[in-house]
Amino acid sequence: MAAVVVARPALRPTPRARDEEVLVWPDLVFVEFVSALLFTVALFFLSFAMNAPLLDEANANVTNDPAKAPWYLLNLQELLLHMNPALAGIIVPTVWLILLGAFPYFDQSTAGQGRWFADANSIRNTVVSFIVGFFGTLALILWNSGKVALWLKDWFGISGGGQLAFLERSAALKDPSVVPWPDWASSIPYLWFNLKILDEGPGAGVTTFQKIDLPTLLVDIGIPAGFMVGLTCLLVYALWRIGWVLSRRDALITLMSGFVGVFLMLTIIGTAFRGPGQDLIWPWDLRTLEGIPGQE
């Protein structure tokens, strides 16, 4: 009599999802507990070793020089030195935060999620964009603070001077001796009435919206905004042309890594390299100033 053969599946050909799972207690809870413990101990040691800074009592009549914001805002404070305050302090961070929030709506593919640097080009895009952002920002700061021009003059005897002063710092473009601005350029009417809104307090004056100061607009808003948007687009375009940026995810990686580079450089310069009068100085000349943890 033929044996009854019962068809059985092979020994579980594909592992079930559950086989890949571990129990939260103890596997995850243990890791969480240890990391919390490590941080508690490390912060205790730090707190024993280093006191929180406390300077003299607040005095509105004695100005701190340089007066610095908390370190995570020093990147914005650094930007303020180079452009219109509204652009640097409000528009740039607001636009960036909105862009950041919009990331997942721009890149809707689910490919490569849950793994570090899953895409083929992601590591080199990250590294290159970070380096471009980091050192590009340094170059722009040095250029706009006149340091590059100073070194060129000191070391090589090359001086733009006169008509070429705008190559040393963009603010020189406002100077009538560099660019022969006609008189009308600094007050071009664009509204046929003088709009006055939200008159706020002494010194603030009336915000008027009737005329444009073209040289100021160009130097304080046009050039910086052009650089920020233009260089970003140029970076993404260049990486696309050489075939590194192939997807929206790649473009976002370029954008984010470039941002991290810029953010880091601005924070470092603002924290450690800005002295009295917000002049560029070396960090070791800064030692008596506030804002450095432990300095009291």
- Site for other proteins contains 104 (CB under 8 A): yes
The site string for other proteins over 144-183 (x = CB under 8 A, - otherwise) reads ----------------------------------------
Nearer to other proteins, 166 or 290 (CB): 290
How many residues are given for the chain?
Answer: 296
Strand runs labelled E in 80-230: 188-189, 196-197, 207-208, 211-212
For 253, half-sphere exposure in the C-beta direction (CA atoms, 13 angstrom radius) is 23
The site string for other proteins over 260-279 (x = CB under 8 A, - otherwise) reads x-------------------
Nearer to other proteins, 74 or 171 (CB): 74
| Site for other proteins, residues 203 to 222, rule: CB under 8 A | 203-204, 207
| Site for other proteins, residues 31 to 70, rule: CB under 8 A | 31-32, 35-36, 39-40, 43-44, 46-48, 50-60, 62-64, 67-70
Token pair for residue 187? 């007050």
Nearer to other proteins, 116 or 184 (CB): 116
Minimum CB separation of residue 105 from other proteins in Å reads 6
Nearer to other proteins, 56 or 183 (CB): 56
Question: 């006609």: which residue's tokens?
Answer: 182
Question: 């004056």: which residue's tokens?
Answer: 205
- Site for other proteins contains 7 (CB under 8 A): no
Phi, psi of 161 (to 5 degrees): 55, 175
Q: Which member of 6, 7, 116, 282 binds other proteins (CB under 8 A)?
A: 116
Rounded Cα distance between 236 and 50, Å, is 43
Token pair for residue 234? 């140029």
| Site for other proteins, residues 12 to 31, rule: CB under 8 A | 18, 20-29, 31
Per CB under 8 A, the segment of 5-13, 130-138, 177-185, 247-255 that binds other proteins is: 247-255
- Site for other proteins contains 281 (CB under 8 A): no
Question: 């599946």: which residue's tokens?
Answer: 9
Minimum CB separation of residue 215 from other proteins in Å reads 19
Rounded Cα distance between 39 and 74, Å, is 26
Q: Which member of 200, 208, 226, 279 binds other proteins (CB under 8 A)?
A: 200
Number of residues that bind other proteins (CB under 8 A): 86
With beta carbons less than 8 A apart as the criterion, state whether 113 and 105 touch.
Answer: no
CA distances from 225 to 26, 88, 217, 237, 296 (A): 53, 9, 11, 18, 39
- Site for other proteins contains 282 (CB under 8 A): no
Contacts for 99 with CB less than 8 Å, ≥ 6 apart: 255
Minimum CB separation of residue 238 from other proteins in Å reads 21
Minimum CB separation of residue 170 from other proteins in Å reads 19
For 216, half-sphere exposure in the C-beta direction (CA atoms, 13 angstrom radius) is 9
Minimum CB separation of residue 267 from other proteins in Å reads 11
Rounded Cα distance between 137 and 24, Å, is 45
Count of CB atoms within 10 A of residue 281's CB? 16
- Site for other proteins contains 90 (CB under 8 A): yes
